[in-house]
Structures are given as structure tokens and as C-alpha cells.
């Protein structure tokens, strides 16, 4: 098949939500319905089953939360699904932002009892900024929660997104009977399975039979849907694709209720790969020569080998394993001998890939987040990925000085992956790097991985800084370093960051040195 035909078969999306809304459970349920796993296991391995396939890191299994993005690829109907599960915790929003750069749509997962929560709002803002169409899946309808109409009203009032339900719940939250299939008008009744371990059987009933069986619950569901439709809630595909409205589905991922509808919606209506704009502002045709960009680097997915995997989104052309491509950042060739499809921690060799696919490049120590890979001429480069303004800082030192070599290797690796930002200063020297993080849990991850993957336990001494600015003129470095409550640290990309104990300390120093030029630190790509 041609490159364009293959691209048309791809669907690449991310799942976003607040922590504990059920992202990893939904990811696993989607894989179950696509028949790529035989049995679902709850996050904590309920019933003796294994934990969710997308949570492969030991800390994730222990805590029952996702702290690193996972890539899953599988087939459903005639499509190839590239599903990226993202960490919901706010401390890892930088990782989520990178993942959103690699997808064409997103599934926004809401807890039926909580609706839109703070982290969901932040991630939706990223989707809005990038023009990413969003499907809303209201989860946990098997538990007590809010009214369906109230949740839909919240989408309009808080984020200005018109809900367009494609299913509507029959039965209040906590008394889930099934859903009204809006396009067809029928009732779809779900049947529970033992612990939700297998795909839930469905029975389709016509409206008359549904009313006779479900009574008031069916009547109420149809009336609520008609009310919403009258206020602009009828489905219009163009409004979904231009990100001005969102299809809405109701379900319970842990029971596999409503999951098939979501998969079918993604195949039928989610956007296909489109030409991606390069750093010069020019869209690169899908059938141009191969190009891709690295959005994530991960080490330790296979503890037996400790290899490094760079996840890249294919933007154009046909990828063939073994081809030699150019890294636009270093201008050096990169041999793609070991390339894998990823399904959680399980991987298989891939020989070809097409626009929209996510590939895992193994033994990719020469690659960094934001790198562009391309074949042929002329060269191409896609816009870089941002570094967020850090809010927490800690000096890292090896707990065992005899492990200095392992310490340096681990520090460099964590920085390359973006687990933490790495800062250095003339005053502290290379032996005492500073970890900078958006949230403090990043320090926990860094310390855990340093001990268990690199055999170099670390001591992290927190620094008292809470205000950070970009130092415009490197010649003014001494003005900040001479302060008792401030210092300058240099990020890996060469940007000088002026750190202050608090905003007051910064204002005092500026008042004393009016020539000092500081700029707000914004996300830079």
C-alpha cells in the first residue's frame, strides 16, 4: 500500500485527566476490546491478575499511579492505534506536554463524581493551544456521582466546549443500566463480567422494548438527551475536528462498559495524520521522505538490558528498519538497526512504520527529546519541545563516593530523558549538579531510579529558592551570585537561570542593581 493509504489507517491519541480518574484502567480496557490482551487486571493486580500493561515502572506498580507516559500500539478493525497514556499528576505535566505534541487527538477522561478537575483543566488548555480535537469520556458511571446534564453544562461553562453526546446513560450514576445509543436511538444494555476481567457483553434493544424494560430510567434518558440536543448538542463532525465541540461518551472503564463505543469513535471520526509544520513554518507532506521527531527518551524499560529507548513520532515517509537517518540537531548519522513496537513493557521488532506511528529506537544514547530525524535532502527540522519553568531545586550528591562513575552516568541519563532539568554553576562545580523540577515528586522518581537502575543512591539537599527568572546578560552573573539569597545556575541548553529565595529577595536585588535585566521564564521550544 502507498504511504498515504497507510497514513489514513493510523490513529494517534493521548488520554488526559486528573489523577485517579482511571486513565490506566481505560488504556487497558481499550486494549482488551481490541483483543490484544485476554484479561484485564486492576491497577493493584486485583484478583491475582497482573497490573495494568501501561504501568511498567516499579514505582507505578507500587503506588497505582502513572508517573511516566506509556506508548501502546495495536490494531483495531483496519486501523493501527497509537495510544499514549500520560501521567495525570501535576508534577509530571512537562512529560504530558511532550506527549501531546505527538498525537492528533485526545481523550479527556472525567470522573463522574468530580467532573473537571484542576489538572484536567491545565491539560485541556494545552490541547486548546495546539488545536487538538478532544473526545470526552465520563468514567465511573457505575459509582455514585453527579447528574449527566450537570457534567455537560460544566463543559460549556468552564472551558467553553459544547458537548455533543453520542451515548447517554440510562440510570443515574451508581445505578448504570446501559446507554442510549444516540445516533441509532436504541438501548445498549451492558452485562457485568467477573471483576471486569473480560469485555462486557452488550445487548441492543429497540426503543419500545427499552421503555418496557427500563421504564422511567429510559424515559428520563431520552428526555435529557432531547433537551441537550435542543440547546446545540447534536453531533457535527466538523465541530469536533475544529476543536470547538466535544463528542461525549458515558461508561465505566473498570467494567469495560462503553469502551467499544470509544474505540469505534476513534476509528470512524478521530483525525488522521496530517502534514506537520516544520521549524520554518512549512507543512511537510506525508509522502515526503522519512522524517520524525523524538518526544520522549526512556531508560530501564527492560531491567535485564538497561537499554535506552527514544520514542519518535513518524511525520512523513516510510520508515524501514536499518535505514540510516540524520539527526538534525547534531548533523550526525543515526543507524536504526534496533526498532521496536511497544506494548507497555513488552516489545517486538518493527520493520516498517508510517506517518502517525510511534516507534521505539533502541540503544539511542545519541538522541535527546526534541531531536528531528530525517532521510535524504534537503534537511528538515521540526520545532523543539519546551522546557517548563522549574519551581523546586535540590543539590544532588552521591551517597557513596565510590559510585561516582555510576552517579555521573545516572545524572546525565535522567537529564537526557527530561525526568529532571539539570543545572550547573561555577560556584558548585560539576560534582554537585542541581536538579530542577516542576513538582517535588520528580525528585522521588529521580532518587528511586538512581538507586535501583544506576546503583548509585543519592542525597538530595533542597535549595530554598522559589522564584526564578532568565538572566538576559551573562555579564551580570556576578550581581546575582553576590547576593545572599540568590545565585545563577546554567541549564543544559545554555540558558542562565537566576534563582531567588522569594519574590521579595529578587525585588530587593533589582532595586540595589537597577541595571540588572531579568526576564520571565516561559516555555521555550
Name the grid cell of 131.
488545536
- Dihedral class, residue 49 (left if φ above 0, else alpha if ψ from -120 to 50, else beta): beta
Specify whether the CB–CB gap between 128 and 98 falls below 8 A.
no
Q: Please report where in the chains the cell 485517579 appears, as a residue.
A: 20
Residue 487 in 3-state DSSP? Answer: strand
Asked if 13 and 103 count as a contact pair (C-beta separation under 8 A), the reply is yes
Residue 52 is classified by DSSP as P
89 is in an annotated binding site: yes
State yes or no: 87 annotated in a binding site.
yes
For 490, the grid coordinates are 546554567
Reading the block at residue 427, the C-alpha cell is: 560556584
Has 20 been labeled as part of a binding site?
no
E strand map for 101-161: 105-111, 134-139
d(CA 520, CA 199): 50
Is 330 annotated in a binding site? The answer is no
Q: Rg of the chain's alpha carbons, rounded to an integer?
A: 25
- What CA–CA distance (Å, rounded) separates 301 from 129? 31
Residue 262 backbone phi and psi in degrees, to 5? -65, -45
Q: Is 88 annotated as a binding residue?
A: yes
> What are the φ/ψ torsions at residue 426 (nearest 5 degrees)?
-65, -35
Count of alpha carbons within 13 Å of 187, Cβ hemisphere only?
A: 25
For strand 467-471 and strand 518-519, is the pairing parallel, antiparallel, or unpaired? Answer: antiparallel
CA distances to 64, 65, 181, 413, 461 from 453, in Å: 20, 20, 49, 11, 21
Binding site as annotated, residues for GTP: 85-89
Binding site as annotated, residues: 85-89
Amino acid at each position: 500500500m502507498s504511504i498515504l493509504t497507510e497514513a489514513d489507517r493510523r490513529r494517534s491519541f493521548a488520554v488526559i485527566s486528573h489523577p485517579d480518574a482511571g486513565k490506566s484502567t481505560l488504556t487497558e480496557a481499550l486494549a482488551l476490546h481490541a483483543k490484544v490482551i485476554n484479561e484485564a487486571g486492576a491497577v493493584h493486580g486485583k484478583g491475582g491478575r497482573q497490573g495494568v500493561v501501561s504501568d511498567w515502572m516499579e514505582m507505578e506498580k507500587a503506588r497505582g499511579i502513572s508517573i511516566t507516559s506509556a506508548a501502546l500500539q495495536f490494531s483495531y478493525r483496519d486501523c493501527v492505534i497509537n495510544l499514549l497514556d500520560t501521567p495525570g499528576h501535576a508534577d509530571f505535566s512537562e512529560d504530558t506536554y511532550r506527549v501531546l505534541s505527538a498525537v492528533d487527538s485526545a481523550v479527556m477522561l472525567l470522573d463522574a463524581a468530580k467532573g473537571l478537575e484542576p489538572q484536567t483543566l491545565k491539560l485541556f488548555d494545552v490541547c486548546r493551544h495546539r488545536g487538538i480535537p478532544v473526545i470526552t469520556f465520563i468514567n465511573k458511571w457505575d459509582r455514585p456521582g453527579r447528574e449527566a446534564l450537570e457534567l455537560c453544562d460544566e463543559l460549556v461553562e468552564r472551558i467553553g466546549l459544547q458537548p455533543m453526546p453520542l451515548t447517554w446513560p440510562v440510570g443515574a450514576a451508581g445505578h448504570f443500566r446501559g446507554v442510549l445509543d444516540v445516533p441509532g436511538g436504541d438501548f445498549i444494555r451492558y452485562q457485568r463480567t467477573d471483576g471486569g476481567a473480560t469485555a462486557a457483553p452488550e445487548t441492543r434493544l429497540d426503543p419500545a422494548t427499552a421503555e418496557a424494560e427500563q421504564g422511567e430510567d429510559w424515559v428520563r434518558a431520552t428526555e435529557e438527551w432531547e433537551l441537550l440536543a435542543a440547546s446545540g448538542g447534536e453531533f457535527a463532525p466538523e465541530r469536533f475536528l475544529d476543536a470547538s465541540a466535544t463528542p461525549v461518551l458515558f461508561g465505566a472503564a473498570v467494567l469495560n462498559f462503553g469502551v467499544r463505543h470509544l474505540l469505534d469513535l476513534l476509528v470512524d471520526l478521530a483525525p488522521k495524520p496530517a502534514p506537520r509544520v516544520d521549524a520554518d513554518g512549512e507543512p511537510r507532506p506525508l509522502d515526503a521522505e522519512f522524517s520524525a521527531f523524538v518526544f520522549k527518551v526512556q531508560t530501564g524499560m527492560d531491567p535485564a538490558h538497561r537499554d535506552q529507548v527514544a520514542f519518535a513520532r513518524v511525520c512523513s515517509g516510510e520508515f524501514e528498519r536499518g535505514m540510516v537517518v540524520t539527526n538534525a540537531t547534531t548533523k550526525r548519522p543515526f543507524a536504526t538497526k534496533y526498532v521496536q513496537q511497544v506494548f507497555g513493557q513488552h516489545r517486538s521488532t518493527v520493520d516498517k512504520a508510517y506517518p502517525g506511528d510511534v516507534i521505539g529506537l533502541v540503544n539511542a544514547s545519541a538522541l535527546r527529546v526534541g531531536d528531528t530525524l530525517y532521510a535524504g535532502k534537503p534537511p528538515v527540522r521540526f520545532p523543539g519541545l519546551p522546557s517548563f519553568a522549574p519551581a523546586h531545586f535540590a543539590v544532588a550528591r552521591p551517597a557513596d563516593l565510590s559510585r561516582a562513575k555510576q552517579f555521573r552516568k545516572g545524572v546525565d541519563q535522567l537529564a537526557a530523558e527530561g525526568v529532571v532539568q539539570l543545572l550547573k554553576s561555577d560556584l558548585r562545580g560539576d560534582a554537585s549538579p542541581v536538579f530542577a523540577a516542576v513538582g517535588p515528586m520528580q525528585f522521588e522518581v529521580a532518587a528511586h531510579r538512581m538507586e535501583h537502575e544506576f546503583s548509585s543512591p543519592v542525597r538530595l539537599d533542597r535549595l530554598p529558592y522559589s522564584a526564578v527568572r532568565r538572566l538576559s546578560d551573562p555579564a551580570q552573573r556576578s550581581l546575582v551570585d553576590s547576593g545572599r539569597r540568590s545565585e545563577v545556575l546554567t541549564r543544559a541548553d545554555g540558558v542562565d537561570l537566576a534563582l531567588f529565595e522569594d519574590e521579595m529577595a529578587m525585588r530587593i536585588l533589582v532595586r540595589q542593581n537597577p541595571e540588572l535585566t531579568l526576564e520571565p521564564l516561559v516555555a521555550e521550544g
